Chain A
Amino acid sequence: MLMETAVEKRNLLNDITTAFAERKSAVNSDQQTSFDLFLEKGLPSSKSEEYKFAPIARTLEKSIQFTTSEASASITKELSILSGLETNLIVFVNGRFSQEQSRIIDRELQLQRTGPARMKEDIDPFSLLNHSFANETVALSVEANIELAHPVVIAQYVDTTADQFSNPRWTCNIGKSSNVAIIEYVVANAGEPYFANKHASISVAENAGLEYITLQASAQEVSVNNSFIHLASSARASSFTFTVDGQFVRNNLHMIIDGQGVDGHLYGLYLLSNQTLADNHTVVDHRQPNSNSNELYKGVMRGSSKGVFNGKIYVRPDAQKTNAFQSNRNILLSDTATVNTKPQLEIWADDVKCSHGCTAGQLDEEALFYLRSRGISKDMAMGMILYAFAAETMAAIKNETVKTFVDKLISGKLQQTT
């Protein structure tokens, strides 16, 4: 007789459902709807078009417990990593807003805590999951005509000894003709992996400006980051996404251009090593005429890391005279590193200028030899070429202190030779 000895396979959806059931008393009906929708969709498998190269279910199965124990997390690390920079600080501890840890130094920055409402943009399974588990929505806002003096830092703190599952949810409304800079990152204590499942939604009113910087540099990170930027007429926005470490990082960045005369920039840089997987899915959605978008994502991959880039550009029927450009460039430094890059342009208007290009190649050997032939060591020459390649993605950062910080982060990563 044959013995059945198979180890029972972990059922992720069951685990997540159990965790959700435990929070039942704290959940509103909207959230129940989101959770039902999430279950309907299920976790994306490798057959899912959107998560084809990002085996998220496998990653979660391997390393994440879905408890939301409300155990009090302890803060053992510095939350403001931008030393020398005075900022507003909004802190989420294991996904829950922390009044104690947060501090607002600009009077014009308002913060409201509300029950988590379902938004039209909650479509991705992880957006739905975030909404189901979110404690609240932290709604930031700045009224019209305000030049916010200090950047708004949004820090997720994860204490993995309490929980590994974090679902922060925040929005930010920038009033007409105001300017705001937002910097977002995660700080984690203990070396355990965590799953940071964020949802953020930013609205930039007429003639207002946004600088939005995301720093991803934690080795333990498994994350899905759903970020939406809505732009009204004459708004300007630049997003910068820097990924230098992590286990599995998935960014779903949407820029929705819902006005005329908008200027939107999307910069991204992923410097990957070891087994890191970084997947950037971006959507630039031109819904109104006469706007410009410009996207530049670059990647350098070592070890067995994986880069994924998928750039969608939609130009809707009304969006005549749109200029939309996209470029994705990759350097592979090892035989076992890979990159999958795919531009996806869908254009329904006829009077538009769109272009896209993607490349993947090795380091330019000719350039390397040229520098070495002038006495520069191989490592340093490589560093110079890679830095020059990477620098273009941070050149447009306005705040000098932030730029210097990013510069150090990137230079440091490029000096690693494995």
Chain B
Amino acid sequence: MLSIKNLHAKIEEKQILNGINLEVKAGEVHAIMGPNGSGKSTLASVLAGREEYEVTVGEVEFQGKNLLEMEPEERAREGVFMAFQYPVEIPGVSTINFMKTAINQIRTHRGQPTLDAVSFLQVMKEKMKLVEIDQSLLNRALNEGFSGGEKKRNEIFQMAMLEPRLSILDETDSGLDIDALRIVSNGVNKLRSKNNATIVVTHYQRLLEYIVPDFVHVLYKGRIVKSGTKELALELEAKGYDWIKNELALA
């Protein structure tokens, strides 16, 4: 589904990604771990199409198409979804109106009829249950004055609404207490299927107890320096990132 080859990217003359290779197939969950500043959010942002980042070398193919040529909105319509590490507050735009616009633009792109008010509300109610989010929150301006946990829950709600093929969750666990973490993970797990894939970006192993990955990759200084199965996450937790740094220094 997603094939990243030798991806290099920089921002403001600062080289951040230094040759990423990653293959993600439908049905898989990949975790990307790594110390702060290693480039995890950069990778997620480059995949979502954030324009400040410049791809200098490399290719990204998504469902057979060149992802890097697409505008951010095209990527979303093709089925890429990124849950932001820091969701943006947008005063004056309610989540409901925003989602209605988004879902209908995506449906139009996919050749599906747009949803009228009634069927939209129906879908919305169903997805709200999934992430246990309250409608009063969705009536409010997008993320404005939301707590950290509410923002993250809103991200997963949007993901549920838009039914992406590839979801990239950037530190969705940060700022969540244990109950919220359970709810959010439950939501993600219920949305998993053999047709879609998930990339979970996280700093800690904790989230991976709830969203169990098929593969774990360690990103360090803009490269994937180690890949393995879910046991790698446990090992990282036990030994800390210094273990990786030392191993690399020895090699």
Question: Are the CB atoms of B76 and A372 closer together than 8 Å?
Answer: yes
B98 within 8 A of A: yes
Within the complex, what minimum Cβ distance (angstroms) separates A244 from chain B?
Answer: 19
Question: Are the CB atoms of A372 and B71 closer together than 8 Å?
Answer: yes
Question: Are the CB atoms of A388 and B93 closer together than 8 Å?
Answer: yes
Residues of B contacting A378 in the complex (Cβ-Cβ under 8 angstroms): 71, 73
Residues of B contacting A384 in the complex (Cβ-Cβ under 8 angstroms): 93, 98, 101
A-B pair count, CB < 8 Å, reads: 75
Interface residues of B in 11-25 (CB under 8 A from A): none
A405 within 8 A of B: no
A82 within 8 A of B: no
Question: Are the CB atoms of B82 and A373 closer together than 8 Å?
Answer: yes
Bound Cα distance A369, B53 (Å) = 13
A-B pairs with lowest CB-CB distance, top 9: A388-B92, A375-B76, A374-B102, A372-B72, A370-B88, A375-B106, A372-B73, A388-B93, A366-B88
Question: Are the CB atoms of A388 and B90 closer together than 8 Å?
Answer: yes
Residue of B51, B91, B105, B106 touching A369 (CB-CB under 8 A): B51
Residue interface mask B61-103, A partner, CB < 8 A = 1: 0000000000111011100011010011011110000110111
Question: Are the CB atoms of A374 and B88 closer together than 8 Å?
Answer: no
Look across to chain B and name the residue whose beta carbon is closest to the beta carbon of A391: B92
Residue interface mask A368-394, B partner, CB < 8 A = 1: 011111111110110011011101100
Question: Are the CB atoms of A377 and B93 closer together than 8 Å?
Answer: no
Residue interface mask B28-61, A partner, CB < 8 A = 1: 0000000000000000000011110000000000
Residues of A contacting B99 in the complex (Cβ-Cβ under 8 angstroms): 374
Question: Are the CB atoms of B105 and A375 closer together than 8 Å?
Answer: yes
**What are 16 A-B contacts with C-beta separation under 8 Å?**
A370-B88, A371-B93, A371-B102, A373-B48, A373-B73, A373-B75, A373-B76, A373-B84, A374-B76, A374-B99, A375-B73, A375-B106, A384-B98, A388-B91, A388-B93, A389-B92
Question: Are the CB atoms of A370 and B87 closer together than 8 Å?
Answer: yes
A367 within 8 A of B: yes
Question: Are the CB atoms of A375 and B88 closer together than 8 Å?
Answer: no
- 20 further interface pairs, Cβ-Cβ under 8 Å (given A364-B90, A374-B81, A375-B73): A369-B50, A369-B51, A370-B87, A371-B90, A372-B49, A372-B71, A373-B73, A374-B158, A375-B103, A375-B106, A376-B73, A376-B102, A377-B73, A384-B98, A385-B93, A388-B90, A388-B93, A388-B141, A389-B92, A392-B92
Question: Are the CB atoms of A385 and B102 closer together than 8 Å?
Answer: no
Question: Are the CB atoms of A373 and B92 closer together than 8 Å?
Answer: no
- Once A372-B71, A373-B49, A388-B91 are accepted as A-B contacts, the answer to whether A380 and B76 lie under 8 Å apart by CB is no
Bound Cα distance A375, B106 (Å) = 6
Question: Are the CB atoms of A377 and B105 closer together than 8 Å?
Answer: yes
Within the complex, what minimum Cβ distance (angstroms) separates A330 from chain B?
Answer: 15
Residues of A contacting B77 in the complex (Cβ-Cβ under 8 angstroms): 375
Chain A CB within 10 A, most for which of B82, B93, B98: B93
Within the complex, what minimum Cβ distance (angstroms) separates B87 from chain A?
Answer: 7
B109 within 8 A of A: yes
Within the complex, what minimum Cβ distance (angstroms) separates A106 from chain B?
Answer: 36
Bound Cα distance A274, B49 (Å) = 32
Residues of B contacting A366 in the complex (Cβ-Cβ under 8 angstroms): 88
Question: Are the CB atoms of A371 and B109 closer together than 8 Å?
Answer: no
Bound Cα distance A381, B71 (Å) = 13
Within the complex, what minimum Cβ distance (angstroms) separates B112 from chain A?
Answer: 13
Residues of A contacting B72 in the complex (Cβ-Cβ under 8 angstroms): 369, 372-373
B200 within 8 A of A: no
Residue interface mask A82-94, B partner, CB < 8 A = 1: 0000000000000
Residues of B contacting A385 in the complex (Cβ-Cβ under 8 angstroms): 90, 93
B219 within 8 A of A: no
